[in-house]
Amino acid sequence: MANDYVLTLGFGPSFMRASEISIQAKGDSGLLDMRVYRNYKTRETSIENKAAFPASKLIKLTTFIKNYKFQIKSSIDTVGSHKVFVHGDSVLVYDINMGSDGINVHGDFNQNNITHKFAFWSPEKGTENADLMVVLFDLLDKVFTEQRMINYVEQLEQYFPHQLGLKKLSDEPLTYKLFGSITSNEKDELYNFLQSMPLNRKIIIDMSNYSRMGSMFFDEFNQYCASNRNIYWLNPTYQGLIDLYKIGIPNQQIISKKKIIKITEKDGSEVITSGKN
């Protein structure tokens, strides 16, 4: 069929485990297989998740790919290429210019027995490659249900210039998930979200996959939250507990088995005293 294809992407993030995803569109169904590698060289798998779903969930991706320019490209361009032999076949391998803090993406698109290869390094916001990742993560968010894979994908998303790591989980109780890192690029989104929260409803914010935020946010964050005592912070990571303490969030509003009791400074270093709820 015209819309049948296999799209494969490999991800090499600087500070996370590498992974690979295969998306197969066939007839009225789709199949997604994603693997997170414990050891990329040996292909030892840490997490694997497969999911079948109706082809209707692939409409955005299929439409985007029709106009996508498959290129071997980085922020500068391809450094060079060389040939290797895989199972007796000669394969052209491209060397992509990379930095020390970002992500390398490589993949291929196979349709009607014709393969298009592509690769890029840490795309800038508004570029075609960044837009491809927006469409891809939208699909992953709709398909995956296994929590370990969801957490990995949320952290992987932070390597791309998308938006604030935020998603709505439920209406009753009103629950959001705040994940990844918050930088100056997400400042307006963060403040708009805080201002939009109702004052007369209980709100739960899941921080189980939160990374960190800059201290530049602490004062304004405190001002927003001080006026709303109906906000509860669910299962923050250890860094999340530290940030909430520094912001000034009372422990009564933190739903967690662990709490930060106090943070003091000794010899120029922070001393963190924590305890159980």
- Every domain of the chain and the residues it spans: 5-151, 163-276
> What sign for the dihedral angle of Cα 270, 240, 151, 253?
positive
Whether 227 has a pLDDT exceeding 90, the answer reads: no
Give the tens place of pLDDT for each residue, 122-172. Answer: 998 889 999 999 999 999 999 999 999 999 999 999 999 768 999 999 999
Mean pLDDT score across all residues of the chain? 87
Whether 77 has a pLDDT exceeding 90, the answer reads: no
Whether 234 has a pLDDT exceeding 90, the answer reads: yes
Higher pLDDT, 243 or 271: 243
Average pLDDT on 16-33 reads 95
In whole angstroms, what is the distance from residue 160 CA to residue 176 CA?
21
Higher pLDDT, 147 or 274: 147
Per-residue pLDDT band for 73 (boundaries 50, 70, 90) equals low
Spatial contact of 179 and 209, defined as CB atoms under 8 Å apart = yes
Instruction: Using alpha carbons only, give the angle 242, 151, 256 rounded to the nearest 5 degrees.
Output: 40
Give the tens place of pLDDT for each residue, 167-223. Answer: 999 999 999 999 999 988 888 999 899 889 998 899 999 999 999 998 999 998 898
In whole angstroms, what is the distance from residue 275 CA to residue 124 CA?
42
Per-residue pLDDT band for 225 (boundaries 50, 70, 90) equals confident
Tokens of 98: 């990379």
Note the pLDDT of residue 131.
94
Tokens of 22: 């295969």
Average pLDDT on 113-118 reads 93
| DSSP β-ladder status, 29-39 and 166-171 | unpaired
> Of 103, 96, 57, whose CA–CA distance to 80 is shortest?
96
- pTM, entire model: 0.83
Higher pLDDT, 264 or 95: 264
Q: State what percent of residues in the chain have pLDDT above 70.
A: 88
CATH class of 163-276: alpha beta
Judged by DSSP in three states, 184 sits in helix
In whole angstroms, what is the distance from residue 60 CA to residue 141 CA?
13
Whether 84 has a pLDDT exceeding 50, the answer reads: no
CB under 8 Å, gap of 24 or more: what pairs does 160-163 form? 160/103, 160/122, 160/123, 160/130, 160/133, 160/134, 161/123, 161/124, 161/125, 161/126, 161/130, 161/185, 162/125, 162/130, 162/133, 162/134, 162/137, 163/189
